[in-house]
């Protein structure tokens, strides 16, 4: 999310820097995806946020 916006959450604009790449075989087992947006509200946040996935067995 852009640092140029006064309210990054309301504008919901900017480049997304963090990605998780998986093979086609693993991608079919995607159970859950989370982008931890709360990290942008931390004191002196990074322009990156944690991204996690959960895959089925």
* Residue 1 pLDDT exceeds 70: no
Task: Name 35's bridge partners.
Answer: 51
Strand segments (E) across the chain: 30-35, 51-55
Give me the residue spans of the domains in the chain.
Answer: 17-55
pLDDT in tens, 7-48: 877 887 777 778 899 999 898 999 999 998 888 888 888 878
pLDDT in tens, 37-48: 888 888 888 878
- Give the alpha-carbon dihedral of 51, 21, 17, 33, to 10 degrees: -30
Q: What is the average pLDDT across 47-55?
A: 90
């Amino acid at each position: 999310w852009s640092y140029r916006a006064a309210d990054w959450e309301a504008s919901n604009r900017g480049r997304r820097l963090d990605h998780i790449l998986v093979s086609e075989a693993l991608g079919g087992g995607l159970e859950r995806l989370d982008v931890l947006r709360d990290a942008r509200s931390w004191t002196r946040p990074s322009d990156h946020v944690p991204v996690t996935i959960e895959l089925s067995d």
